[in-house]
Protein backbone atom coordinates (compact mmCIF):
# COMPACT_ATOMS: atom_id res chain seq x y z
CA UNK A 1 0.00 0.00 0.00
CA UNK A 2 1.68 3.19 -1.20
CA UNK A 3 1.93 6.08 1.25
CA UNK A 4 3.52 9.40 0.35
CA UNK A 5 4.53 12.14 2.77
CA UNK A 6 4.49 15.35 0.76
CA UNK A 7 7.47 17.66 1.03
CA UNK A 8 6.98 21.36 0.19
CA UNK A 9 7.73 22.34 -3.41
CA UNK A 10 10.72 24.64 -3.16
CA UNK A 11 12.31 24.27 -6.60
CA UNK A 12 10.72 25.32 -9.87
CA UNK A 13 12.57 22.44 -11.59
CA UNK A 14 10.16 20.08 -9.83
CA UNK A 15 7.37 21.20 -12.15
CA UNK A 16 9.37 21.82 -15.31
CA UNK A 17 9.78 19.88 -18.55
CA UNK A 18 7.22 17.21 -19.59
CA UNK A 19 5.45 17.33 -16.22
CA UNK A 20 4.75 21.03 -16.63
CA UNK A 21 3.70 20.68 -20.27
CA UNK A 22 1.22 17.93 -19.41
CA UNK A 23 -0.04 19.81 -16.35
CA UNK A 24 -0.62 23.01 -18.32
CA UNK A 25 -2.40 21.12 -21.10
CA UNK A 26 -4.77 19.59 -18.56
CA UNK A 27 -5.22 22.92 -16.82
CA UNK A 28 -6.23 24.63 -20.07
CA UNK A 29 -8.86 21.92 -20.48
CA UNK A 30 -9.94 22.57 -16.90
CA UNK A 31 -10.32 26.27 -17.69
CA UNK A 32 -12.88 25.35 -20.33
CA UNK A 33 -14.84 23.20 -17.91
CA UNK A 34 -14.56 25.50 -14.89
CA UNK A 35 -14.96 28.90 -16.60
CA UNK A 36 -16.24 28.75 -20.19
CA UNK A 37 -18.89 26.07 -19.63
CA UNK A 38 -20.40 27.67 -16.49
CA UNK A 39 -20.57 31.02 -18.28
CA UNK A 40 -22.32 29.38 -21.24
CA UNK A 41 -24.79 27.71 -18.88
CA UNK A 42 -25.38 30.97 -17.05
CA UNK A 43 -26.10 32.73 -20.35
CA UNK A 44 -28.55 29.98 -21.35
CA UNK A 45 -30.34 30.36 -18.02
CA UNK A 46 -30.63 34.14 -18.51
CA UNK A 47 -32.09 33.59 -21.96
CA UNK A 48 -34.72 31.29 -20.46
CA UNK A 49 -35.61 33.90 -17.85
CA UNK A 50 -35.73 36.60 -20.51
CA UNK A 51 -38.27 34.56 -22.49
CA UNK A 52 -40.38 34.07 -19.36
CA UNK A 53 -40.33 37.81 -18.67
CA UNK A 54 -41.37 38.54 -22.27
CA UNK A 55 -44.16 35.99 -21.95
CA UNK A 56 -45.36 37.59 -18.72
CA UNK A 57 -45.36 41.06 -20.25
CA UNK A 58 -47.43 39.93 -23.24
CA UNK A 59 -49.85 37.51 -21.55
CA UNK A 60 -49.63 38.25 -17.85
CA UNK A 61 -48.54 34.67 -17.27
CA UNK A 62 -45.30 32.70 -17.08
CA UNK A 63 -44.21 29.17 -16.20
CA UNK A 64 -42.90 29.23 -12.62
CA UNK A 65 -41.36 25.76 -12.99
CA UNK A 66 -39.29 26.81 -16.00
CA UNK A 67 -38.27 30.03 -14.24
CA UNK A 68 -37.24 28.10 -11.09
CA UNK A 69 -35.12 25.69 -13.13
CA UNK A 70 -33.40 28.64 -14.81
CA UNK A 71 -32.69 30.29 -11.46
CA UNK A 72 -31.24 27.08 -10.03
CA UNK A 73 -29.16 26.61 -13.16
CA UNK A 74 -27.76 30.12 -12.70
CA UNK A 75 -26.89 29.43 -9.06
CA UNK A 76 -25.16 26.14 -9.89
CA UNK A 77 -23.07 27.66 -12.69
CA UNK A 78 -22.08 30.65 -10.57
CA UNK A 79 -21.12 28.36 -7.71
CA UNK A 80 -18.80 26.38 -9.99
CA UNK A 81 -17.23 29.56 -11.31
CA UNK A 82 -16.85 31.02 -7.83
CA UNK A 83 -15.24 27.79 -6.60
CA UNK A 84 -12.62 27.93 -9.34
CA UNK A 85 -11.84 31.62 -8.73
CA UNK A 86 -11.54 30.88 -5.00
CA UNK A 87 -9.01 28.14 -5.76
CA UNK A 88 -6.93 30.51 -7.87
CA UNK A 89 -7.05 33.15 -5.15
CA UNK A 90 -6.11 30.66 -2.42
CA UNK A 91 -3.20 29.34 -4.48
CA UNK A 92 -1.73 32.78 -5.15
CA UNK A 93 -2.59 34.38 -1.80
CA UNK A 94 0.31 35.09 0.56
CA UNK A 95 -1.60 36.61 3.49
CA UNK A 96 0.13 35.85 6.82
CA UNK A 97 -1.54 33.32 9.07
CA UNK A 98 -4.10 34.54 11.56
CA UNK A 99 -3.80 31.76 14.16
CA UNK A 100 -6.48 31.21 16.75
CA UNK A 101 -8.19 28.22 18.36
CA UNK A 102 -10.28 26.44 15.73
CA UNK A 103 -13.08 24.08 16.73
CA UNK A 104 -12.61 21.15 14.34
CA UNK A 105 -16.05 19.72 15.00
CA UNK A 106 -17.66 22.98 13.92
CA UNK A 107 -15.27 23.42 10.99
CA UNK A 108 -15.88 19.92 9.61
CA UNK A 109 -19.64 20.25 10.09
CA UNK A 110 -19.64 23.60 8.27
CA UNK A 111 -17.63 22.31 5.29
CA UNK A 112 -19.82 19.22 4.94
CA UNK A 113 -23.06 21.18 5.21
CA UNK A 114 -21.95 23.39 2.32
CA UNK A 115 -21.41 20.30 0.19
CA UNK A 116 -24.82 18.81 1.07
CA UNK A 117 -26.50 22.13 0.25
CA UNK A 118 -25.74 21.55 -3.42
CA UNK A 119 -28.94 20.29 -4.99
CA UNK A 120 -27.18 18.16 -7.61
CA UNK A 121 -24.93 16.13 -5.32
CA UNK A 122 -25.91 12.78 -3.83
CA UNK A 123 -23.64 10.78 -1.56
CA UNK A 124 -22.76 9.92 2.03
CA UNK A 125 -20.22 11.69 4.21
CA UNK A 126 -19.39 10.04 7.53
CA UNK A 127 -17.46 11.71 10.35
CA UNK A 128 -15.39 10.28 13.21
CA UNK A 129 -13.83 12.76 15.64
CA UNK A 130 -11.85 11.76 18.71
CA UNK A 131 -12.70 13.69 21.87
CA UNK A 132 -9.12 14.95 22.27
CA UNK A 133 -8.85 16.13 18.67
CA UNK A 134 -11.45 18.88 18.59
CA UNK A 135 -9.35 22.06 18.93
CA UNK A 136 -6.34 23.10 16.86
CA UNK A 137 -4.46 26.38 16.67
CA UNK A 138 -4.60 27.65 13.10
CA UNK A 139 -5.96 30.02 10.51
CA UNK A 140 -9.70 29.33 10.32
CA UNK A 141 -10.14 30.50 6.72
CA UNK A 142 -7.11 28.64 5.34
CA UNK A 143 -8.04 25.43 7.13
CA UNK A 144 -11.59 25.66 5.80
CA UNK A 145 -10.32 26.14 2.24
CA UNK A 146 -7.95 23.19 2.65
CA UNK A 147 -10.56 20.83 4.08
CA UNK A 148 -13.02 21.90 1.37
CA UNK A 149 -10.40 21.08 -1.27
CA UNK A 150 -9.82 17.62 0.20
CA UNK A 151 -13.54 16.92 0.33
CA UNK A 152 -14.04 18.11 -3.25
CA UNK A 153 -11.12 15.95 -4.43
CA UNK A 154 -12.56 12.91 -2.70
CA UNK A 155 -16.00 13.40 -4.22
CA UNK A 156 -14.58 13.96 -7.71
CA UNK A 157 -12.52 10.77 -7.38
CA UNK A 158 -15.60 8.52 -7.10
CA UNK A 159 -16.76 7.13 -10.48
CA UNK A 160 -20.33 7.64 -11.62
CA UNK A 161 -21.05 3.90 -11.29
CA UNK A 162 -21.10 3.98 -7.48
CA UNK A 163 -22.53 5.97 -4.60
CA UNK A 164 -19.88 8.25 -3.05
CA UNK A 165 -18.88 7.13 0.44
CA UNK A 166 -16.60 9.67 2.11
CA UNK A 167 -15.14 9.42 5.62
CA UNK A 168 -13.77 12.48 7.42
CA UNK A 169 -11.80 11.74 10.58
CA UNK A 170 -9.90 13.77 13.17
CA UNK A 171 -7.61 12.11 15.68
CA UNK A 172 -4.70 12.88 17.99
CA UNK A 173 -1.33 11.17 17.65
CA UNK A 174 1.54 11.25 20.14
CA UNK A 175 1.80 12.84 23.59
CA UNK A 176 -0.44 15.80 24.36
CA UNK A 177 1.32 19.06 23.59
CA UNK A 178 4.02 17.36 21.54
CA UNK A 179 1.97 15.31 19.13
CA UNK A 180 -0.22 16.21 16.19
CA UNK A 181 -3.81 16.47 15.06
CA UNK A 182 -4.56 14.45 11.93
CA UNK A 183 -7.57 15.30 9.78
CA UNK A 184 -8.08 12.72 7.03
CA UNK A 185 -10.51 12.38 4.14
CA UNK A 186 -11.02 8.91 2.63
CA UNK A 187 -13.08 8.02 -0.44
CA UNK A 188 -14.32 4.90 -2.20
CA UNK A 189 -13.00 5.96 -5.59
CA UNK A 190 -10.32 4.37 -7.74
CA UNK A 191 -7.35 5.54 -5.67
CA UNK A 192 -4.07 7.08 -6.81
CA UNK A 193 -1.44 5.10 -8.68
CA UNK A 194 2.12 4.91 -7.37
CA UNK A 195 3.29 6.72 -10.50
CA UNK A 196 1.04 9.69 -9.75
CA UNK A 197 1.67 9.93 -6.00
CA UNK A 198 4.85 12.05 -6.29
CA UNK A 199 3.10 14.48 -8.66
CA UNK A 200 -0.30 15.08 -7.09
CA UNK A 201 0.69 18.31 -5.30
CA UNK A 202 2.33 19.88 -8.35
CA UNK A 203 0.34 22.98 -9.36
CA UNK A 204 -2.07 22.20 -12.23
CA UNK A 205 -1.42 18.44 -12.13
CA UNK A 206 -4.66 16.50 -12.43
CA UNK A 207 -5.95 13.22 -13.81
CA UNK A 208 -9.54 14.50 -13.83
CA UNK A 209 -11.06 16.39 -16.73
CA UNK A 210 -13.03 18.80 -14.55
CA UNK A 211 -10.35 19.76 -12.05
CA UNK A 212 -8.07 22.77 -11.76
CA UNK A 213 -5.24 20.68 -10.33
CA UNK A 214 -4.70 23.24 -7.58
CA UNK A 215 -6.50 21.63 -4.64
CA UNK A 216 -3.64 19.64 -3.10
CA UNK A 217 -1.14 22.42 -3.88
CA UNK A 218 -3.30 24.77 -1.81
CA UNK A 219 -3.51 22.25 1.03
CA UNK A 220 0.25 21.62 1.00
CA UNK A 221 1.01 25.36 1.19
CA UNK A 222 -1.45 25.81 4.06
CA UNK A 223 0.03 22.95 6.08
CA UNK A 224 3.60 24.10 5.48
CA UNK A 225 2.66 27.53 6.85
CA UNK A 226 1.18 25.86 9.94
CA UNK A 227 4.28 23.72 10.52
CA UNK A 228 2.44 20.59 9.42
CA UNK A 229 2.56 18.24 6.46
CA UNK A 230 0.41 16.26 4.04
CA UNK A 231 0.24 12.47 3.93
CA UNK A 232 -1.33 10.64 1.00
CA UNK A 233 -2.25 6.96 0.85
CA UNK A 234 -2.93 5.82 -2.72
CA UNK A 235 -5.37 3.09 -1.69
CA UNK A 236 -7.31 2.82 1.56
CA UNK A 237 -9.71 0.38 3.20
CA UNK A 238 -12.55 1.95 1.20
CA UNK A 239 -10.69 1.32 -2.04
CA UNK A 240 -9.97 4.94 -2.86
CA UNK A 241 -7.33 7.36 -1.64
CA UNK A 242 -6.84 8.77 1.84
CA UNK A 243 -5.40 12.26 2.22
CA UNK A 244 -4.43 13.42 5.70
CA UNK A 245 -3.54 16.87 7.04
CA UNK A 246 -1.07 16.71 9.94
CA UNK A 247 -1.03 19.74 12.25
CA UNK A 248 1.02 20.28 15.43
CA UNK A 249 -1.06 20.13 18.62
CA UNK A 250 1.13 22.56 20.58
CA UNK A 251 -1.88 24.73 21.38
CA UNK A 252 -4.58 22.10 21.85
CATH label, 3-12+99-248, candidates 3.30.1200.10, 3.40.50.800, 3.30.565.10, 2.40.50.140: 3.30.565.10
CATH label, 15-92, candidates 1.10.3860, 3.40.50, 1.10.10, 1.10.287: 1.10.287
- Positions in the chain whose pLDDT score sits under 70: 1-34, 83, 86-95, 118-120, 196, 198-214, 250-252
pLDDT of residue 54: 92
pLDDT of residue 225: 87
Long-range contacts of 66-71 (CB under 8 A, 24+ apart): 70/45, 70/46, 71/45
The residues spanned by each domain of the chain are 3-12+99-248, 15-92
Axis-axis angle for helices 64-92, 37-59 (nearest 10): 150
Amino acid sequence: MAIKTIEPITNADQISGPNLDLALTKWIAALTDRVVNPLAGFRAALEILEKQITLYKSTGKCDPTVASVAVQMSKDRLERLNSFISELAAFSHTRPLNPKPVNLRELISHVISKKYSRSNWIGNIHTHLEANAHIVQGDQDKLEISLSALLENAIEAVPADRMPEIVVEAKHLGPVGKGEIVISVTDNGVGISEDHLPQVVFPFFTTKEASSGLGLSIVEKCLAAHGGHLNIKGHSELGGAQVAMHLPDSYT
